Structure 1
Amino acid sequence: MAKQPENFFDFDFSKYLTDMKVPGIDVDSIVASQRRNLDALTSANKLAVEGMQAIMKRQAEILRQSMEEAATVAKDISSPDAPQDKFSKQTELVKDSFEKSIANMRELAEMMAKSNTEVFELLNGRISAAMEEAKALVEKQQDAVKTTTSKAAAPK
């Protein structure tokens, strides 16, 4: 009795498809193309995860810097200065904080865009290649049909 796969993904379709031997269909090419599709998806997922990890790491760095700056600001504000000086310091701190926040958001957005572009380019390249492979398979089958038809029509 044949060994049953432990789960659906242990099942090797390529073995069974290759054994089917459908006339005019290059099963090996189709299986190879699908493997390349899965490899591209795996690579795209890896790129997406790496991009998100880089963004999360940068967000953690930004948070750490913000906490350090907040501690410094708290010390500066609690100093015994004249009210006008404190107001001037606070205004400058708010302005700096706002500018840093905008710069950080821009940096994170650029990181996300770069990651998305890399994933898109990888998948777009694979889709283009898959279309070319499908076109070549159709042309190959059409040529095979023409050859078979012309041999059958040839006088004996």
Structure 2
Amino acid sequence: MATSSKSSSAAAKKARPTATDDVQDAFIKPLKGMAERLQTLPLAGAAGAIVESGRKDLQALVQANEKSYQGLQAVVQRQTEMLKASIVEWQGAVKGMSPTEPRENLAKLDAMGKAAFKQALDDIRELSELAAKSQAEAFDIVSERIRSNVDEVSKLLQPKRK
């Protein structure tokens, strides 16, 4: 009689879903299904597709890095141009100052300082837009490759229609 009570409690446990069963339903079963589909792929074709995909990934990364580098070069070049223009402007202002008119010189320096501050803000805005543009272009290259990867994997994992 003790044996029948053990077998009935075991049957009750199997009938009631447990937390382990829920985890298995949510995570493990879909992965097993994916693994089964991966096993049924034609290996030569899949291996070639994986190698080609890796090559395209590297190519996209190289292009993104080139865009980033070109953007950085453009920012540095523009920054250098801005600095040179500012130096030339300040040199011209200092040369034009009269040693006999200190108040006038202070007024000129004050006006130049205000103009330089405004120009610095405009320059910062221009440089940040330039950097953001190049980074957006690089990001577009990478995100397009990610979309392509998702499409390629989806096509590989689709079950063969018979």
Same fold (TM over 0.5): yes
The answer to whether the aligner puts 1:34 opposite 2:54 as a matched pair is: yes
Structure 1 runs of 4+ off > 6 angstroms? none
Q: 1:81 and 1:135 mapped to 2: Cα distance?
A: 80
Offset at residue 85 of structure 1 (A): 2.3
Count of paired positions? 121
Specify the alignment match of 1:24 in structure 2.
42
Which amino acid in the other structure matches residue 61 of structure 2? L
Q: 1:51 and 1:32 mapped to 2: Cα distance?
A: 29
SS of 2:132's partner is: helix
CA change 1:36–1:116 in 2 (3 A) is same
The answer to whether the aligner puts 1:129 opposite 2:152 as a matched pair is: no
Residues 48-70 of structure 1, C-alpha deviations (whole Å, 9 max, x = no match): 11111111111111111111112
Q: TM-score, normalised by structure 2?
A: 0.69
Larger radius of gyration: 2
Higher RCO, 1 vs 2 (CA within 8 Å, ≥6 residues apart): 2
Offset at residue 81 of structure 1 (A): 5.1
Offset at residue 24 of structure 1 (A): 2.8
- Map 1:3-152 to 2 at 5 A: 24-25=42-43, 26-77=46-97, 79-80=98-99, 82-139=101-158, 142-143=159-160, 147=162
Query: How much identity, in percent, do the aligned residues show?
Result: 31
Specify the alignment match of 1:7 in structure 2.
none
Q: 1:81 and 1:101 mapped to 2: Cα distance?
A: 30
CA RMSD of aligned residues (A): 1.7
Q: TM-score, normalised by structure 1?
A: 0.71
